[in-house]
């Protein structure tokens, strides 16, 4: 595990560095407080720190203060090292954000024990963060396909429309999905849903959004997609599904999707999100009626034509 030693006395710093290396730590060193805070705020920096109270540039408590003010970062467990031993100093150090406090010269056995305590606390924090992230993922993602769930993709769409810039809305439906379930069983149907979600996710950009809208339907939001590019983008997604058969359990199933698409631009400002989704749904219906495995643009259908 990485650990930072911030100590301006070169001899003391070297002695402590060797001791910590002998017990298995990867040691980072700093000779002043500014160097220490820079290393601790590094994304790859140590999460254990031994800070001397008195240092040039910034002292130990000041480093603690800056570290704790950097909200949203990984927690760093800090032990202050000082020759001060009054209760007032102890309180001042802890209130500045230190987790522990050792009076110099510190005994090696005691230092090891304090560092083990710090490691246990960091491991506990990692466990809690992982549990929180797992709960957040379950709350925002579809359990089967791992794309966003309906609520999350609709929230993404709502935020996208608030940007008042071009966006494409694609409502995608797997063709003949009921037949896949009826003929091959729901396990194969689930595998097809997962494969389709994976291919769609691989075909969109990082700034786009994809979610399971319901059943075998997926909603895709293409940020920054102009009306002129909407059909091209929809065709790319359609081909990502149709180009290769689904292979699994000894099968080679042809799988395709139908897409209803609608473009949002400055002239659409008077339309609600619900209205846009209804247009996409109507275009999807026309794509199904026209033979499936195709994309229909809602604006074109208003003129009676198919895209």
- What value does the mean pLDDT take over residues 79-87? 78
- Segment 169-225, tens digit of pLDDT: 999 999 999 999 999 999 999 999 999 999 999 999 999 999 999 999 999 999 999
Residue 301, pLDDT above cutoff 60: no
- What value does the mean pLDDT take over residues 5-17? 87
Domains, the chain, with CATH or none: 2-136 (3.40.50.2300), 150-301 (3.30.70.270)
CA dihedral sign of residues 102, 106, 107, 109: positive
Specify the DSSP class assigned to residue 76: -
pTM: 0.71
- What value does the mean pLDDT take over residues 32-37? 92
Alpha carbon distance 60, 146 (integer Å): 45
Helix or strand run (H / E) with residue 24: none
Q: 268 pLDDT band (50/70/90 cuts)?
A: low
88, 133, 155, 216: the catalytic one is: 216
- Segment 226-259, tens digit of pLDDT: 888 999 999 999 999 999 999 877 888 999 999 9
Residue 165, pLDDT above cutoff 90: no
Closest CA to 20 of 99, 106, 137: 106
88 part of the active site: no
- Segment 105-132, tens digit of pLDDT: 778 888 888 899 999 999 998 999 899 9
Greater confidence, 279 or 248?
279
């Amino acid at each position: 595990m990485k650990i930072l030693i911030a100590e301006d006395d070169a001899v003391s710093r070297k002695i402590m560095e060797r001791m910590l290396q002998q017990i298995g730590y990867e040691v980072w060193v700093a000779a002043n407080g500014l160097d220490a805070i820079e290393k601790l705020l590094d994304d790859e920096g140590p999460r254990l720190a031994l800070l001397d109270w008195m240092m040039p540039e910034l002292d130990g408590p000041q480093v603690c203060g800056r570290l704790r003010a950097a909200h949203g970062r990984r927690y760093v467990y800090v032990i202050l090292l000082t020759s001060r031993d009054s209760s007032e100093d102890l309180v001042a150090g802890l209130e500045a954000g230190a987790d522990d406090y050792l009076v110099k010269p510190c005994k090696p056995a005691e230092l090891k024990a304090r560092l083990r305590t710090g490691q246990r606390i960091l491991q506990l924090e990692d466990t809690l963060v992982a549990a929180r992230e797992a709960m957040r993922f379950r709350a925002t993602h579809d359990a089967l396909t791992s794309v966003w769930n309906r609520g999350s993709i609709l929230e993404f769409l709502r935020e996208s429309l608030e940007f008042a810039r071009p966006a494409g809305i694609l409502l995608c439906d797997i063709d003949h999905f009921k037949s896949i379930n009826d003929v091959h069983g729901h396990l194969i149907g689930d595998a097809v849903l997962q494969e389709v979600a994976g291919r769609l996710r691989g075909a969109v950009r990082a700034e786009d959004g994809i979610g399971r809208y319901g059943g075998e339907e997926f909603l895709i939001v293409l940020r920054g997609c102009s009306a002129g590019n909407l059909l091209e983008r929809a065709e790319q997604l359609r081909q990502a599904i149709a180009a290769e058969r689904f292979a699994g359990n000894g099968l080679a199933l042809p799988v395709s999707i139908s897409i209803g698409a609608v473009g949002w631009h400055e002239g659409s400002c008077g339309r609600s999100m619900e209205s846009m989704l209804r247009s996409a749904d109507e275009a999807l219906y026309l794509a199904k009626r026209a033979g499936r495995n195709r994309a229909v643009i809602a604006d074109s259908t208003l003129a009676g034509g198919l895209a």
